[in-house]
Amino acid sequence: MPLTSRDIVQQSLAFASPPRIPYAMGNGFPSDFRGVARKPAPNRYTQPWTEHDGYFSMIDEWGNEWRRLESITKGEVHQGVIEEGWELLETYDWPDVDRADLYEEAAAQVRAYHAEGYYVQGSMGMAFDIARYMRRMEVFLADCAGEPERVRALLDRIAHLLERQVHRYADIGVDGISSGEDWGTQDRLLVSPAMFRELFKPVYVRVVGAAKSRGLSFRLHSCGFVRQIIPDWIETGVDILQFDQPELHDIGYLAQNFGGKVHFECPVDIQTTLQTRDHVRIAAAARDYICKLAAPFGGGFIAGYYGSNPALGLDPEYQETAARTYMEHGHNPWQRQGATA
């Protein structure tokens, strides 16, 4: 009986040398993964992206107002829901994310996706992003330095909601949790490693720990230079790190220090290599990721695909080269490694 996509992912996450690397691609290329999400909290007012005179705005589930200048980028919070003062938390109406009925449609999707053989992940946010949106970025970073006890209390409340979502997703049968938050600039973390470990790592211990307690994998997206806290994420149990800029960390460094410990899910680097528009160089990078991150370990790399070519300012042909290379060279790379060792 042929292996399903779900089998491929499970074997890879166990570093058990499946017949090929897992795929998490799109735009006509295959993916072994499917995602589900709960319904929005019914007690929160939201507003979809709306065009105004010169900008777009929306209100998210937490009550934050976002703005952006055009239709393709994510934008940023313009007004955090509790930005004007911590006292607003006293009357804040927290999103009701723990109602079983919010997960009923997702449960049906999980059953359907499993019947088709896919590996299913439940989608949710993470505490740093949620907190910094509620207070707005620059205000929240000042809070971390000047009012750490208030930050801890806010993170504790958010972590509780996230833990409950993990358990709801586990109840409906997902295979893993998919989350994300951006932690880095081009050359450093947004906070010091010490501050991350003091304030935010305990949240990962709780939330990722809840997933592991239910037998779920945990996937985390982050942008920027985050090398210093990769060991902390691995220690808390994160299974998949989704990086769109893997070359920011040096592929050889990732392999040497974290190979066989975590999976990296990546497109060919969106900021450097794809931007060269050099098909030969793009294909070489795709082979390099497989050779260094997966082949020696029986797993460790998942072929990714960045979701918006227009946001990159690129024709799809460049990611198509990467995707085809992933598929061509991702079959049994551990056998080739053994043959050349």
> What's the domain range around 14?
5-40+85-340
List pLDDT tens digits, range 190-208.
999 999 999 999 999 999 9
Q: Total domain count for the chain?
A: 1
Q: pTM of the predicted model, to two decimals?
A: 0.96
Amino acid at 56: F
Per the prediction, the chain carries an average pLDDT of: 96
Q: Tell me whether residue 66 is in a domain.
A: no
Question: Are 323 and 268 in contact, with CB atoms under 8 Å apart?
Answer: no
Mean pLDDT along residues 303-324: 96
pLDDT of 338 higher than 80: no
pLDDT at 165: 98
Q: At 257, phi and psi to the nearest 5? A: -95, -25
> E strands, the chain, where?
23-24, 33-36, 47-51, 56-59, 65-68, 76-79, 119-123, 176-180, 217-221, 240-242, 263-266, 301-304
Residue 34 lies in a domain: yes
* 206 inside domain: yes
Is residue 52 included in any domain, yes or no?
no
| Residue 133 within any structural domain of the chain | yes
Q: Record the tokens describing residue 167, joined without a space.
A: 């358990």
In a domain, 77, yes or no: no
pLDDT band per the 50, 70, 90 thresholds, residue 45: confident
Tell me, what CATH number does 210's domain have?
Answer: 3.20.20.210
Domain presence at residue 74: no
108 inside domain: yes
